Chains A and B, each alone.
Chain A
Amino acid sequence: MGDLDDLYQELILDHNKSPRNRGELENATCKAAGHNPLCGDRVTVFATIEDGIIKEITFDGAGCAISTASASLMTESLKGKTLEEAKALFKGFHGLVTEETEETEDGPGLGKLAVFSGVCKYPARVKCATLAWHTVHAALSENGDTVTTEDDE
């Protein structure tokens, strides 16, 4: 069962059980809702941007362990980042869960997010991991529409 341990790592189980930065952000300057129609997972991301920096970021919603932990860890890693850095992290994270590529020296440091490296072996679960990221991407692009994971091939 080595594979399973790769997917459900302690850090993921912990963030699923006790999600960080969960709840609505009252003074949010941008927000977006995301939906994975395949499993019914829903997430809303709230963020406060000041001078191009993500000052505050929270999420709300219900989903599986992978999507909940991903949203939780995402908020932790995006807080304090510039929009440019956030974009680079999104790209790096997407690569991590969709391809079996190792983190490169010149790429953004994914830090704790590397815990999702096992996801790429579970094609059916990639969308769970990327839902919150697609949603934050929409929020930061000031695209308030609900995004879905359906273009995530």
Chain B
Amino acid sequence: MTTVADTSNKTSFEPATHGFDVARVRQDFPILHQSVHGHPLVYFDNAASAQKPQAVIDAVKRFYETDNANIHRGVHKLSVRATESYERARIRARDLLGARHQEEIIFVRGASEAVNLVAQTFGRANVTSGDEIVVSHMEHHSNIVPWQILCQQTGAVLRVAPVNDQGELIFEEYEKLLSPRTKLVAMTHVSNAIGTIVPIRDVIEKAHKVGAKVLVDGAQAVPHLSVNVKELDCDFYTFSGHKFFGPTGVGILFGKKDILEHMPPYQGGGEMIRSVTFEETTYNDLPHRFEAGTPNIAGGVGLGAIIDYVNALGFGNIAAYEHELLAYATAALEAVPEVRLVGTAANKVAVISFVVDGVHPHDVGTILDQYGIAIRTGHHCAQPLMARFQVPATCRASLAFYNTRQEVDALVAGIRQVVKVFG
């Protein structure tokens, strides 16, 4: 088999978009500088988990080397430092999301846990038989299954807002689903499988008109877009640290204070209580009421570090750079006759799903891997969306601000090899 053109020697170059120096940014990510199967690594699986800059790795390392102790209530120096670092990260997250109060920021393991938390606390307390929960057809399984469980527990009904052939929410159909029975709308901000940006502000506004609360799954939005929960006026917003270039096992749930205050606790344990006797327990104040047990402290510290890092790059710069990269990649893939894009929304982040004529995505993924190119193949935890597009699986190249045009060229060359093998 011939080798894909060695892109490492190319001199072509990344336009310095709006002062965004991708070559310099790449220096911050040690993992990117390696060979896989003898080729420079091209990491296009960012929507599954993004890579971490040195600043995050250092912050986690430094925490364990100098500050590690359990947080809150400790009177010794290390515990005080650990608590400060962890709570500083909470403030960073508050500012990242534009929330008013730090009590509105709850540390969770990730977006999945956040959705489950809201389903089992807000949901159990407020949703009853005959009520409705509205999701979209492009949800990740983690924003479907917790609601199905809640429906089984309460007798509520799950309603699904459809998407069109481009993979966009059909807004009129969504509106038709809303009624006084709608207790909650749980919708993704950005589709993990096909990159569609949902007009979430309008979704929220319409939901509020019928008195429904809205949870926004921002796992795929926060790595690409500037989010402001005050402007969106959402009731809950969540994202995962590891998809945002931070550590695994940590994420954020934002909830409006007046809603959180009336929610029953999620898990019982240490930290979430004020006082415990065998007769009665009173619960802690926000946000600790929802944070039972010792959390992922180092993960929280790492999350704080990544927020600082991304803020320094600037969301505006990132969005402008990614916008151009997405346009370049979309055009490059469309130029391959055997490639069909799945999800062509007008408003997208740099996530591209595609199929190659007559070749199963897993075979595409295996061959690309031999050229050092990491993409994801499968249903992307969005089986209903795959069914909507009548494909069992797709190939997904999900790009981040550290990816380059050169890497897109390598992907296209790799796909041409796939076509050749199966030709």
Do the two chains belong together in a single complex?
yes
Q: Please determine whether B370 and A64 come into contact, CB atoms closer than 8 angstroms.
A: no
Partner of B378, one of A7, A39, A63: A39
Tell me the nearest residue of chain A to B378, going by C-beta: A39
B361 partner residues in chain A, CB cutoff 8 A: 39, 64
A153 partner residues in chain B, CB cutoff 8 A: none
Q: Is A13 part of the contact surface with B, judged by Cβ < 8 Å?
A: yes
Q: Please determine whether A39 and B362 come into contact, CB atoms closer than 8 angstroms.
A: yes
In the complex, A125→B366 CA distance in Å?
8
Q: Please determine whether A65 and B360 come into contact, CB atoms closer than 8 angstroms.
A: yes
B367 partner residues in chain A, CB cutoff 8 A: 4, 8
Q: Please determine whether A4 and B1 come into contact, CB atoms closer than 8 angstroms.
A: yes
Q: Is A3 part of the contact surface with B, judged by Cβ < 8 Å?
A: yes
With A3-B370, A5-B1, A41-B392: A66-B363 Cβ-Cβ less than 8 Å: yes
Q: Is A114 part of the contact surface with B, judged by Cβ < 8 Å?
A: no
In the complex, A4→B372 CA distance in Å?
13
**Mind listing 29 A-B residue pairs with CB under 8 Å?**
A1-B1, A1-B3, A3-B37, A3-B370, A4-B366, A4-B370, A8-B363, A8-B367, A13-B421, A13-B422, A38-B378, A39-B360, A39-B361, A39-B362, A39-B379, A39-B392, A40-B378, A40-B383, A40-B392, A62-B392, A63-B360, A64-B361, A65-B360, A65-B363, A65-B422, A66-B363, A68-B360, A125-B366, A128-B362
With A4-B370, A13-B422, A65-B359: A39-B3 Cβ-Cβ less than 8 Å: no
The 4 closest A-B pairs by CB, nearest first: A64-B360, A1-B1, A40-B392, A64-B362
| B interface, CB within 8 angstroms of A | 1-3, 37, 359-363, 366-367, 370, 377-379, 383, 386, 392-393, 421-422
In the complex, A49→B278 CA distance in Å?
66
In the complex, A40→B3 CA distance in Å?
30
Shortest CB–CB separation between residue A66 and chain B, in angstroms?
7
B366 partner residues in chain A, CB cutoff 8 A: 4, 7, 122, 124-125
| Further contacts, 18 of them, CB under 8 A, given A4-B370, A63-B360, A64-B361 | A1-B3, A1-B370, A4-B1, A4-B367, A4-B421, A8-B367, A8-B421, A39-B360, A39-B377, A40-B383, A40-B386, A40-B392, A64-B363, A65-B360, A65-B363, A66-B363, A125-B362, A125-B366
In the complex, A41→B391 CA distance in Å?
11
Tell me the nearest residue of chain A to B1, going by C-beta: A1
Q: Please determine whether A40 and B421 come into contact, CB atoms closer than 8 angstroms.
A: no
A4 partner residues in chain B, CB cutoff 8 A: 1, 366-367, 370, 421
CB-contacts of A59-85 with B (<8 A): 62-66, 68
In the complex, A64→B418 CA distance in Å?
13
Shortest CB–CB separation between residue B287 and chain A, in angstroms?
36
CB-contacts of A1-18 with B (<8 A): 1, 3-5, 7-8, 13, 16
Shortest CB–CB separation between residue B388 and chain A, in angstroms?
14
In the complex, A64→B356 CA distance in Å?
12
In the complex, A144→B238 CA distance in Å?
43
B3 partner residues in chain A, CB cutoff 8 A: 1
In the complex, A1→B359 CA distance in Å?
19
A63 partner residues in chain B, CB cutoff 8 A: 360
A124 partner residues in chain B, CB cutoff 8 A: 366
In the complex, A128→B422 CA distance in Å?
17
A3 partner residues in chain B, CB cutoff 8 A: 37, 370
In the complex, A64→B360 CA distance in Å?
5
